[in-house]
Structure 1
Amino acid sequence: MSDHTEVADLRVVVDRIEGRSVCGMRPGDHLDLTRSSRLTIPPGRHFCLYALAAVLPLLPAKQRALADGDWLARDCEVACPDPEERLVMRVERLGVQRIPTDELT
């Protein structure tokens, strides 16, 4: 039997837009990250490349178990880099999957 790794499925949700929306996203728009590396967006919607670039580096860490005192366990908001848009995303854990380690990228 191979080793397994517990990895959280995540949802990145547009929480709010405090400026003017240039990218066309709106509060509630989201993407899901499942089974470690699968990104999905609801049909007929989109997710801004620049907002994705802002949140992407944090997602692998958010998928792992974190110590209670770790700042990444407490903080779940990420801002898009466009200063006029001020789009704020929230990273939510949807659940944890136990995946064979040799299937992870």
Structure 2
Amino acid sequence: MVDDPGDMELYDLRVSVDRIEGRSVCGMSTGDYFELTNSAHLTLPEGQHFCVYALASVLPFLAAKQRDLASGDWLAQDSHFACPDPEERLIMRVERTRRRRLNSADLT
């Protein structure tokens, strides 16, 4: 049996709190993060949390950030996203951490 190298590539991502320009009402701090790996596995460091509202604001962009983008695409050049809470002004940074080869048949 030959190992299947996969038919597509996606990036694993780390979404971290880059800065908080207001007051932290969700209990998060600069440096808090979650990782998105293997297309859809979201993990947090043990004992940490991530605000569901901050997550909701960045979530629509993660599938695109996992893929190769055209060099002129704004999303290829921008990696910062803001939580919608105007009092908090929490700014997140999305970074690619690893390029992973996957089988599309294994994904939904």
Unaligned segments of structure 2, at least 5 residues: none
Structure 2 distance, partners of 1:104, 1:72, is: 24
The Cα of 1:3 is off from its aligned counterpart by 5.5
Structure 2 distance, partners of 1:48, 1:91, is: 15
Structure 1 distance, partners of 2:6, 2:43, is: 27
Deviations 1:4-62 (A, max 9, x none): 11000000000000000000000000000000000000001000000000000000000
2:62 aligned with 1:66: no
Structure 2 distance, partners of 1:39, 1:67, is: 26
Structure-1 residue corresponding to 2:35: 32
The Cα of 1:103 is off from its aligned counterpart by 1.1
**Aligned amino acid, residue 53 of structure 1:** A
Number of aligned pairs?
105
Superposed structure 1 runs of 4+ greater than 6 Å apart: none
SS across alignment from 1:56: helix
Alignment of 1:8-87 (within 5 A): 8-87=11-90
Q: Which has the larger radius of gyration?
A: 2
**Aligned amino acid, residue 79 of structure 2:** C
Unaligned segments of structure 1, at least 5 residues: none
Structure-2 residue corresponding to 1:6: 9
2:105 aligned with 1:102: yes
Q: Percent identity?
A: 63
Deviations 1:79-105 (A, max 9, x none): 000000000000000011000110122
